[in-house]
Amino acid sequence: MPKKIKRKSSIGELYGKITVSGRDFESGERKLVKEIEHPFVRFCKKLARMSPGMGKGGVFNKENQSAIEYLDWKLTPQDFTAASKIVTLISFFLAFAAGIILYVSPLQELLALFTNDATTALVYSFFPFLIAAMGIIYYFQSYPVSAAKKEQTKSLTYVPEIMGYMIMSIKLVPNLEKAIEFAASHGKGKIAKDFKNLIWSTQIGVYNSLSEGLDTLAYRWGKYSEEFKRALMRIRASVIENTEAKRYALLDQTMSEMLESIRNKMELYARDLSQPSTMLFYIGVLLPLLLIIILPVGSSFSGAPLANPMVLFAIYNIAIPLITIVFAYSLLQTRPPTYSPPVIPDDYPGLPPKWKIPMGGSNVDARFLAILVLVFGLVFTSVLSTQGFPPKILNAIDGIDIELNDQIIAPDRTKEEVLVSAARDPDYFATDYPTHTGKRFNEQLSKRLPRIDDDEELELAIIAVTQEVKSEEQLFFSKGENDVSPYKLVFGFLISFSLALYILFFLANKAKRKVQLEVQELETEFKDSLYVIASRMGENKPIEDAMKHVQEFLPDLKISRVVFAKTLDNIKLLGMPLEQAVFDKTHGSVANIPSTMIKSSMKMLIDSVQLGVNVAARTMISLSIQLQNSEKVNNTLKILVSDVTGTMKTMTLFIAPIVLGITTSLQRIVIVTISSLASSSVLDSASNTSSGVGDSFSSFSVSGFISPEAIAGIASPTQFILIVAIYIIELVAIMTYFTTKIEEDNDLLVKMNIAQYLPIAITMFVISMIVSNLFLAVGVG
């Protein structure tokens, strides 16, 4: 067996084995590790490996070149070009395949209703999928630019934060290298990453000095954040100031001007948000209101099935919500990240188990309770819809005789009951030829039979009569006195569904939200306590005395008991050193506090104490100012967008459901009016007003251009109610998600707000329909 030859390690592998660590850096922070590539870069490289030749001669356009350099992606033009071509081919292939499947599927019959031309039907089959394919291609090719803009938006809040850390460090020690290292270790986002890369590049000799690298970084970022470039230049200049007073003044001025610039950008963002938010309101609220009236009218006069239940469902419950989601998501991507609320884990001490609701000293499963409410609601409303209240079934009990007039709540009427009350047979509108046809169908068909000569004409006559009878049936049951919509069943289901979601997502998360608010209160108190700690340590008192002073000076604050008192107990009773007393996984004072801000601040406090209490005091003062500045930025954004989000909440919760409910009731009037026109003839009115009208005009009737097929295909009032109700549920979910995310990036609050607002919107919709039906009953009848 040949001897195995040991391969020599490459230069890169040798570098990869090197680890460098320093006393002032966290464990593992300075290790050489392979950088994780962005998912988009990995995706492009994976596609490019499938066909490398497709990327030959590829180049970036100017926008993508600038974006990829800014993002520091290791993506070559050849890989991007090859991936772009492959995505284009796959997208168009899938579009054509989907179009073919649609054209040969049963859904093709729905397309045929829009046109009698086979070529046009073929175009309708492929067109939406081709548009979707073009959208995917555009999204892929413009993704680097979108990712760069997203990072630039994030920098609105990351810039003042990381500059605050740099200024904090330079105020303590006027050393640029230490300031950059300190800011890189505590900052967030791409700026902190660029600072770390700057340190590394300087150490391996890419730059002659850190100042040279900082100049390069400043001008590279200057294209996207002019205030960041100016701040870096001034911080560099502050190091060479000959007096501490001048250095402090320059640094304070730098921070003040930066915050003012960020505030101006926030105001610009809020103003720019106003118009897109209004557009979102138009798409999500006003457009559906208009379509409820326009679609039935357009369907009747054009003959196209615009008011067909399937078409309405596709428009209201798929197309409009999808457009609204995409539009809202694109707006949220432009939101600058501000305060990140604490994320409460499910196993947080004191919380009930997941999906459990504390009730009467025990925990009830929220899922079981939600199912119970949903089932009970459906059963109760089903009985109410079919039996009324008191139920008619009680008549079967001896001695009980309940008449319809004696019931407090009458049941929903059935078609058979309405037809019988109108002195018509229960199968009066039956059209199942030849097995089951009603009186109206037979009457209409008998009028045409004398003019029918063959089977083909008979088949056409049957189709025409069927559509006419269905059109008359639509008119008959759209009248107020003949309304057979199961309102009680539909309304009961909607209310039960909204209550089940309320239990599942609001009540089940109520305890977690309470903890989140308590932690946020702790963060607010912690910011106030920093001044007290700093002032005490400024008197050359040790950190333990400073914590005890906070406990005595601010006894009513929860932060005094939860953090500082517990830290002192750990030191005195358990004999722990300061760092362990704070960060011990079992007994540490911040071990069970899910606040990144408190933990990072305590880490900074402990690290600075090792350099002396005076240094720690100045660090805490600077940190307190930095936290206040971050809070100002967050509050500024909330105030600026409050007008827009407040209006949208009101529209979503009250105005939209009420108007949609009223408009849904008015839809019956539209159907009655159109159906009446379709069944009337201008010939009768013309003969009553003038006897000199020619034959060509006297034969004209409205039914000639109002299609009976379209009238018959219009969604019934019940179908309209269900479609609009589903849309209201989607609208509340989308708009609440948007408004909550704009104000605060809090996923827990999003779920709770949706669950809380949905029952309100559904109740408004139900009440508006009931009231409008009462007012319209006489008019429609």
For residues 226-265, b (16+ Cβ closer than 10 Å) or e, as one string? Answer: ebbbbbbbbbbebeeeeeeeebeebbeebbeebbebbbeb
Percent with pLDDT over 70 in the chain: 85
Asked if the model's pLDDT at residue 16 lies above 60, the reply is no
Long-range contacts for 43-50 (Cβ within 8 Å, ≥24 apart)?
43/83, 44/75, 44/79, 44/80, 44/82, 44/83, 45/75, 45/79, 45/83, 47/82, 47/83, 47/86, 47/87, 48/78, 48/79, 48/80, 48/82, 48/83, 48/86, 50/86
Asked if the model's pLDDT at residue 439 lies above 60, the reply is yes
Tokens (6 digits) for 624: 């307190």
**Kind and range of the H or E element at 363?**
strand 362-365
Given this model, what pLDDT does residue 777 score? 65
What are the extents of the domains in the chain? 43-141, 413-484, 510-628
pLDDT, mean of residues 441-470? 78
Asked if the model's pLDDT at residue 683 lies above 60, the reply is no
Model confidence at 751, pLDDT cuts 50, 70, 90, reads: very high
> Tell me: the pLDDT tens digits for 222-260?
777 788 888 888 888 888 877 888 888 888 888 778 777
Asked if the model's pLDDT at residue 534 lies above 90, the reply is no
Given this model, what pLDDT does residue 90 score? 92
Sign of torsion over alpha carbons 656, 657, 658, 660: positive
Asked if the model's pLDDT at residue 352 lies above 50, the reply is yes
> Tell me: the pLDDT tens digits for 97-119?
888 887 777 666 666 555 555 66
Do residues 759 and 499 touch, judged by C-beta distance below 8 A? yes
**Secondary structure (3-state) at 336:** coil
Higher-confidence residue: 593 or 441? 593
> Tell me: the pLDDT tens digits for 384-400?
888 877 777 766 565 55
Q: How many other CB atoms are there within 10 angstroms of residue 418's CB atom?
A: 18
**Kind and range of the H or E element at 370?**
helix 366-387
Model confidence at 444, pLDDT cuts 50, 70, 90, reads: confident
Percent with pLDDT over 90 in the chain: 9
Given this model, what pLDDT does residue 591 score? 86
Sign of torsion over alpha carbons 450, 453, 455, 460: negative
Given this model, what pLDDT does residue 765 score? 92
Report the alpha-carbon angle 614-616-621, nearest 5.
100
**Kind and range of the H or E element at 365?**
strand 362-365
Given this model, what pLDDT does residue 108 score? 64
Given this model, what pLDDT does residue 394 score? 67
> Tell me: the pLDDT tens digits for 22-69?
333 344 444 555 567 888 988 998 988 888 888 888 888 888 888 888
Enter the pTM of the model.
0.76
Given this model, what pLDDT does residue 691 score? 42
Which stretch, 235-249, 541-555, 682-696, has highest mean pLDDT?
Answer: 541-555
pLDDT, mean of residues 637-655? 81
Asked if the model's pLDDT at residue 608 lies above 60, the reply is yes
Higher-confidence residue: 248 or 727? 727
> Tell me: the pLDDT tens digits for 115-126?
555 666 667 777
- For 29-74, list the strands marked E by DSSP: none
**Kind and range of the H or E element at 219?**
helix 210-222
Which stretch, 290-299, 604-613, 734-743, has highest mean pLDDT?
Answer: 734-743
Tokens (6 digits) for 515: 């903890």
> Tell me: the pLDDT tens digits for 253-308?
887 787 777 777 777 776 777 777 778 778 877 788 788 778 877 777 776 777 78
